[in-house]
């Protein structure tokens, strides 16, 4: 049984959209190898971040799950990053703690849960055998369902955890103050929603269903629905998928 919390329970409420699914099926299934997960912690108020943002955009088509988490702890300099959220900063602190880092910083790249100080050029593709299989399906315009199944011959740790993100391409800002004043910034893979999906005990190959209700899509911006399954102790990616459905 999942570790219960009220907000996790709300995220996992059963949904019924059979008619939509039958007529507009959009789904993806993970492969035998771990899909790499790249996280970038960035800020529009950080002068060293634009090169990292540009590098992240180059990962389009890489087959990775890519996520740009904007943090707000540089807002005090004079420019408020409209894409930042306290939850993203909390996640960065969690990542830092798992990596034994004394503090957080930007830009910070994280590959499969591990700090990646040298973030360029394009990192190698994943070849490590997956420890979980994921099938992700769109149930409605903003409703998604995933089935996570542990791989029998590669047992997980005693428990596994997961989180959802919504990422979008093609955002930009004309920065008016702070370290990047006067700069026109372009962003892809911008995290617009981050929702932890709970922690679950490993019970052989028993599948676990996760249901997610996303925020509405932003017109004019391609979006990806991502699910990352990871080891809650180390943060290591066990498997991940990214789904992009027609608007």
Q: What CATH number is given to the structural domain containing 150?
A: 2.60.40.10
The answer to whether residue 14 is domain-embedded is no
Number of domains observed in the structure of the chain:
1
The answer to whether residue 6 is domain-embedded is no
The answer to whether residue 2 is domain-embedded is no
User: Domain residues for 94?
Assistant: 26-243
The answer to whether residue 208 is domain-embedded is yes
Strands (E), the chain: 27-29, 37-42, 65-70, 108-111, 114-115, 132-140, 143-150, 159-168, 171-174, 184-187, 190-201, 208-213, 223-230, 237-243
Residue whose structure tokens are 């993970």: 30
pTM for the whole structure: 0.88
| CB atoms inside a 10 Å sphere around CB 163 | 19
CA distances from 116 to 25, 29, 176 (A): 37, 27, 30
Residue whose structure tokens are 């992700």: 136
Tokens of residue 76, six digits: 């005090």
**Closest listed residue to residue 45, CA positions, set 158, 180, 148:** 180
The answer to whether residue 139 is domain-embedded is yes
Tokens of residue 43, six digits: 């800020």
The answer to whether residue 107 is domain-embedded is yes
Per-residue pLDDT of the chain (247 residues; tens, 9 = 90+): 444 333 333 333 343 344 444 456 899 999 999 999 999 999 999 999 999 999 999 999 999 999 999 999 999 999 999 999 999 999 999 999 999 999 999 999 999 999 999 888 776 666 899 999 999 999 999 999 999 998 866 666 789 999 999 999 999 999 999 999 999 999 999 999 999 999 998 887 889 999 999 999 999 999 999 999 999 999 999 999 999 998 7
Residue 194 DSSP class: E
For 198, left (φ over 0), alpha (ψ -120 to 50), or beta?
left
**Distance separating alpha carbons of residues 164 and 207, to the nearest angstrom:** 17
Tokens of residue 15, six digits: 């949904």
- Distance between alpha carbon 33 and the CA centroid of its chain, in Å? 18
């Amino acid at each position: 049984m999942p570790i219960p919390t009220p907000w996790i329970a709300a995220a996992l409420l059963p949904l019924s959209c059979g008619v939509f699914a039958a007529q507009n099926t959009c789904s993806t299934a993970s492969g035998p190898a771990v899909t790499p997960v790249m996280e970038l912690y960035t800020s529009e108020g950080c002068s060293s971040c634009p090169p990292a943002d540009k590098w992240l955009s180059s990962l389009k088509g890489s087959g990775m799950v890519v996520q740009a988490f904007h943090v707000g702890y540089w807002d005090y300099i004079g420019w408020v990053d409209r894409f930042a959220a306290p939850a993203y900063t909390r996640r960065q602190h969690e990542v830092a703690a798992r990596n034994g880092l004394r503090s957080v910083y930007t830009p910070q790249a994280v590959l499969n849960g591990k700090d990646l100080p040298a973030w360029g050029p394009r990192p190698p593709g994943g070849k490590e055998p997956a420890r979980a299989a994921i099938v992700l399906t769109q149930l409605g315009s903003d409703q998604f369902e995933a089935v996570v199944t542990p791989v029998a011959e590669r047992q997980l740790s005693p428990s596994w955890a997961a989180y959802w993100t919504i990422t979008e391409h093609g955002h930009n800002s004309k920065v008016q103050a702070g370290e990047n004043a006067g700069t026109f910034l372009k962003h892809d893979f911008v995290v617009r929603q981050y929702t932890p999906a709970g922690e679950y005990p490993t019970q052989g190959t028993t599948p676990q269903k996760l249901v997610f209700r996303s925020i509405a899509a932003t017109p004019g911006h391609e979006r990806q629905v991502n699910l990352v399954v990871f080891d809650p102790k180390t943060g290591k990616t066990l498997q991940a998928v990214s789904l992009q459905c027609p608007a």
